[in-house]
Amino acid sequence: MSARRNVLIIAAAAAAVVVMSSVGVYYSVRTQSHPTATKVATVSASDRMKAIMLTPDKLPAGTQYQQFSVQSFAAQHGYDAPQGMTFAPASCLQYDQQALGNNPANYPGWVQFGVFPATANNLPAQFSNYAMSVAGGADLARIQTAAATCASGTLSVPAMGVTATVSLGTYTTPTFAGAKTLGITITTTFSDTTTPEVRAAVLGQCAIPLASTVSDTSACKDAAMKEMVNTTSDTRYAAYVAVGDVLAAACVSDQSGADQMLATLYQRALTQLGK
């Protein structure tokens, strides 16, 4: 999904499609309560996408996260680059937005950003994920094509004297019945002279994008600092799945974690699709 997601993830998270608004997109759930009567309940596309989001029981104990509707996130400029950051080409930051017509707010959906308490190597890890409703189904080939235009890009933060390289690639994701999947790697490499504190400052501010809505962001900063102490390169794995009208994505710093999150999103998407 976007500035914060791509520097993470991220998004965090999220095709040649027909644009649709966040209202008026419904499916019906029918329950038989009487042999001659059928009750029909309508559920909005936004509510279906929200139900796909990972819930506390699907996350490690101690995980901190925030979630927003796509429309709310966009209205608060959540998809814009953090102030003072410049990406070149723009696809290094917004490849999936470009594939969605540069206006993700037109798609009913939800995004999550947060920090796991620890990873397999005993370090905290930033993560993001999203689910959007895309009429006719998302075209993952368009996302891959957009990402390919940032095989060798840059991330500049003049106020910090930082210029890092950004490289997007692909990796093999698990396959799921009736779905299409795609894996994107997002690698940010800093110069040897960039201190761990500066590297963490660049990455840490993107852990939870709307920090003013979060009561405690110290875990996010701590996660970035610990990740960047012994390395100048940061790689995130963004995994995508398209099934029915659902486009879901998960991004985290280890491949197995991204794939596991994606598998959970896929299963939750099937539930919302009635499969």
Phi/psi at 132 (5° precision): -130, 150
Question: Would you call the peptide bond into 82 cis, given omega within 30 degrees of 0 as the criterion?
Answer: no
Cα–Cα distance for residue pair 257/95, rounded to 1 Å: 22
pLDDT at 29: 24
Q: Residue 101 sits in a domain of what CATH number?
A: 3.40.1000.70
CA angle 114, 62, 198 (to 5 degrees): 45
The residue range of the domain holding 178 is 3-272
Cα–Cα distance for residue pair 214/216, rounded to 1 Å: 6
Q: pTM above 0.85?
A: no
For residue range 90-129, list pLDDT tens digits in order.
Answer: 899 889 888 988 787 789 999 998 888 765 555 557 788 9
* Number of structural domains in the chain: 1
Reported as half-sphere exposure (CB side, CA atoms, 13 A), residue 72 has a value of 12
Residue 213 burial (C-beta neighbours within 10 Å; 0-12, 13-18, 19+) = exposed
Instruction: For the chain, list residues with pLDDT below 50.
Output: 1-41, 205-217, 220
